[in-house]
Structure 1
């Protein structure tokens, strides 16, 4: 489940599409504008993002806007956050150990003179 989403986000074009969609829905033509690739290539990137459930499409008369799926991004963020919190705890522990081993600040000031 997460593998497909992370695999989809491994491509810089798809990450750019996600970044653009974070500002609101857009059509394939609008999403293709900043890239030097064909609209068909952008459509394929969107299909990969759809398969990873990171985006959805709707129908609005003749338009088929692409929408970001924020719930899916929340799942990825929650997974990343659990590991980030573990690492932050480890760094806080390391900071505490380093502070106990550091020389008193008064000694450092005398040595610098």
Structure 2
């Protein structure tokens, strides 16, 4: 099994029908079972990512999911654009939330119209 940060590279052959077998090590890494589905995500730089397809109940908010996919693509395509959060912004955020207590395990209140 590949270590964190290490890339696991396993060759596979494409058949005349355009099919291939997902190697056992990759199936194990993605926790794929029989009849599970995968998704292929092609990036502009020619990289293709394979991931286990999540069921609708696991996908959560589709807007947030699309936004997170956009961010992941943008970071992969343009890593030089990633910048640290300015200290001034962190300081401002701390000042705005000073004295506010939050229970992260508490249920969120219902939105009111």
Higher relative contact order (CA 8 A, sep 6+): 1
Relative to total residues, which structure has the larger helix share, 1 or 2?
A: 1
In our comparison, the structure showing a higher alpha carbon Rg is 1
Using the size of structure 1 for normalisation, the TM-score is 0.27
Using the size of structure 2 for normalisation, the TM-score is 0.27
